[in-house]
Amino acid sequence: MAEKCDLRELDPSPDHEHLVINRHKPSIMPEVTAEKNEQIAKMNFGSIYPHYLKRIEKHGRTKEELDQIILW
């Protein structure tokens, strides 16, 4: 499993709170924009669910846990 690095440890300034990188595959979360939000809003949830499921299972979670969060 890849080791995570929280940049707050390196620079605790508040504008770096959202930056968490993977040391083996450095990347920073893309900026959220109105265009990206609109693109996501137009997506069919049925097309997204399998991707959520694959991701949570990769991190040791279960389908039941995902469903519990979605139905909350």
pLDDT value of position 35: 92
Q: Supply the pLDDT for residue 15.
A: 55
Cα separations in angstroms, 29 against 26, 32, 36: 10, 9, 13
Is pLDDT at 18 greater than 60 in this prediction? no
E-only strand ranges, the chain: 4-6, 20-22
The pLDDT of residue 30 is 75
CA-based Rg of the chain, rounded to a whole angstrom? 16
The half-sphere exposure of 63 on its side-chain side, counting CA atoms within 13 A, is 2
Q: Look up the pTM and report it.
A: 0.45
pLDDT at 10 exceeding the cut of 60: no
Tens digits of per-residue pLDDT, 28-46?
777 889 998 898 889 888 8
